[in-house]
Amino acid sequence: MNQTHFLNSIFKQENFNSEELELILMQFEEVEFSKNEYLIEKGKVASYYYFLETGFLRSYSIDTEGNDITTKFFAENDIVIDWHSYFLKKPCKESIQALTKGKCWKISFANFMKLFNIEAFREVGRTRLVNNYFELKNHSISVIADQAKDRYLNLLKEKPSIIQNVPLKHIATYLGITDTSLSRIRKEITL
């Protein structure tokens, strides 16, 4: 898929005129990544955000006991970003790592700011930020208030590609359960 086709599909429902759309597309650069590669690393300032065309990534942090805990998954068409670091220029508190090889399109903060005078672009960004906040909030509440089986079924319903393409150990930590509990839940569902 070429840049124009993929990024057009990302921005297709917005009211950009042809000049605005051309300016937007010019700001993005193609990036291919390998499995286990980091797009954003803990302790560094995020210089880019990405639109994910192919592949799967995850964000994770290390808890106080040294355990690797997945905090979010990214799949096709997702924005891959550490909002706090990218906009406030603070060091990242988690890392974003590729779970598979893939391709994305990155934009630097300077190039992003060139687009901020386009009203529809600002609105797209605002909407994505708000949606990301609600997704994070819903996941946080779900880990506290929902049964593990329900969390798994919800992930299966909302993002089946994650279940099919991501190692179970990462899914388990994202759901706040052990690998053994996840295996038991999966067995119950298939019976």
Burial class (CB in 10 A: 0-12, 13-18, 19+), 87: middle
Q: Where are the domains of the chain?
A: 3-145, 146-191
- Give 103-141 pLDDT, tens digit per residue: 999 999 999 998 988 888 888 878 888 888 888 888 888
9, pLDDT greater than 80: no
What radius of gyration, in Å, describes the C-alpha atoms of the chain? 18
Adjacency order of strands within the sheet including 29-33 = 29-33, 102-108, 48-54, 79-80
The structural architecture, per CATH, of the domain 3-145 is: Sandwich (2.60)
Mean pLDDT of the chain: 89
